[in-house]
Amino acid sequence: MTLDLAIGLGLETLLPHVHVGHQVGVINKAIDAEADVVILGSSRAMHSYDDRELTRVLGVRVHNAGLDGRGVLFSRGLLALISQRHAPKLVVLDVAYSDDDRSNAYAFAPYYGRSPIVDSLLTEGDWRERVKLVSRSFRMNGVALAILGNLFAESHEWGFAPISGRLEPTVRVDGHPARPLARPKPFVEENLLALVAEARSLGAELVFCESPSFGDPWPADVRALYERVAATSGIPYIRIPDEELPSFGPALFKDRGHLNQDGAVNDADATLLANAILGVYQLPDFPFTRLRESSPADQESDVALTRETVLRFTQPLATDQTIGADTLTAEALGRRWLSRTEL
Segment 5-47, tens digit of pLDDT: 676 666 667 666 767 677 888 888 999 999 999 999 988 888 8
Q: What is the mean pLDDT of residues 196-209?
A: 92
* Phi, psi for residue 163 in degrees, rounded to 5: -125, 150
pLDDT for 88 equals 93
What are the pLDDT digits (tens) for 273-315?
A: 666 566 655 555 544 465 666 777 777 777 777 778 887 765 5
Banded model confidence at residue 265, pLDDT cuts 50, 70, 90: very low
What are the pLDDT digits (tens) for 123-167?
A: 887 888 888 888 877 777 777 667 666 666 666 788 888 777 777
* Phi, psi for residue 212 in degrees, rounded to 5: -65, 150
Residue 179 clears pLDDT 90, i.e. is over it: no
Percent of the chain whose predicted confidence (pLDDT) is above 90: 19
pLDDT for 72 equals 92
The gap from C-alpha 58 to its chain's centroid, in whole angstroms, comes to 17
pLDDT for 59 equals 79
pLDDT for 149 equals 66
Strand, helix or coil for residue 73: helix
Q: How many helices (H) and strands (E) does the chain have?
A: 14, 11
User: Which of 23-32, 56-65, 330-339 bottoms out in mean pLDDT, i.e. has the lowest?
Assistant: 330-339
Percent of the chain whose predicted confidence (pLDDT) is above 70: 69
Q: What is the mean pLDDT of residues 261-276?
A: 58
Residue 248 clears pLDDT 50, i.e. is over it: yes
Which range, 4-13, 42-51, 321-330, is most confident? 42-51
User: Which of 114-118, 203-207, 267-271, 336-340 bottoms out in mean pLDDT, i.e. has the lowest?
Assistant: 267-271
Strand, helix or coil for residue 320: coil
Rg (CA), the chain: 22
How far apart, in Å, are the Cα atoms of 325 and each of 202, 207, 315, 339?
Answer: 40, 43, 22, 8
Cβ(66)–Cβ(54) below 8 Å: no
- Classify residue 56 as exposed, middle or buried by CB count within 10 Å of its CB (0-12, 13-18, 19+): middle
Give CA angle at 248 (243, 253), nearest 5°: 120
* Phi, psi for residue 245 in degrees, rounded to 5: -65, 135
Residue 222 clears pLDDT 80, i.e. is over it: yes
Residue 196 clears pLDDT 90, i.e. is over it: yes
Banded model confidence at residue 65, pLDDT cuts 50, 70, 90: very high
pLDDT for 197 equals 95
Average pLDDT of the chain, as a whole number: 78
Cβ(51)–Cβ(156) below 8 Å: no
Give, rounded to a whole angstrom, the gap between the first and last alpha carbons of the chain.
51
